[in-house]
Amino acid sequence: MEKLVDLVLHPIRMRIVMALAGREMTAQQLAETLGDVPPATLYRHLNRLTEAGVLVVASERRVRGTLEKAYTLGSQGAFIDPQQFAAMSREEHLRYFTTFVATLLDDFSRYINQPDAINLLTDGVGYQKFPLELSDEEFVAVAQGINAAIVPHMSNPPAPGRKRRIFATMVVSDVVSKPPQGGQAPEIYNEK
């Protein structure tokens, strides 16, 4: 069986999952939202995501003799549980992270290259890195604060005045490449 992370971290499938986050959409609506994805490709990826339980059919209705399905994220959605995440090899993490970053690059490229005028400030577009000195307990508090600010808005439906925004997070422990100033060098830096 294909791993959930392998299934979801495909550029087109990731776009489908992101489009359905907090929403219910038909294949036709998804085709309009993901205008550059050919219909046959879209249906193939919808089927794979549905078979794996990432997506579920939320409703069905007859339209001109055919059955139109509306899709939404399943109960687990596209989330990978912490045990599966921790059990992945270094090579898998590097491959999945590369794919994750590539999907962000694709999102940003589609935004920046759209034919309409863009305004990064009013659109809320930005990218930054913040080095934080945090104990494990402080890090947990920061993560909980971010979740408390974001999670209540994840199920907001589309509405006038709302823009769909992608908020991505990444946390990496910094690797010290030289000894800190004024401190004792770690063992690997001490000459013997």
Q: What is the mean pLDDT of residues 130-143?
A: 93
The answer to the question of residue 28 being in a domain is: yes
Q: Which amino acid is at 22?
A: G
157, 162, 37, 165: which is closest to 111 by C-alpha?
A: 165
The answer to the question of residue 150 being in a domain is: no
The answer to the question of residue 8 being in a domain is: yes
The answer to the question of residue 134 being in a domain is: no
Residue 6 in 3-state DSSP? helix
166, 68, 72, 171: which is closest to 126 by C-alpha?
A: 166
> Residue 3: its pLDDT value, please?
75
The mean-pLDDT minimum among 12-16, 20-24, 49-53, 107-111 falls in 20-24
| Domain span holding position 68 | 4-118
The answer to the question of residue 24 being in a domain is: yes
User: Which DSSP category does 165 fall into?
Assistant: -
* Tokens linked to 154: 């994840």
Q: What is the mean pLDDT of residues 67-93?
A: 83
The answer to the question of residue 85 being in a domain is: yes
Which CATH number covers residue 27? 1.10.10.10
From CA 5, how far away is CA 10, in angstroms rounded? 9
Domains held by the chain: number: 1
Q: Give the residue with greater pLDDT, 9 vs 184.
A: 9
The answer to the question of residue 48 being in a domain is: yes
The answer to the question of residue 83 being in a domain is: yes
pLDDT mean across residues, the chain: 84
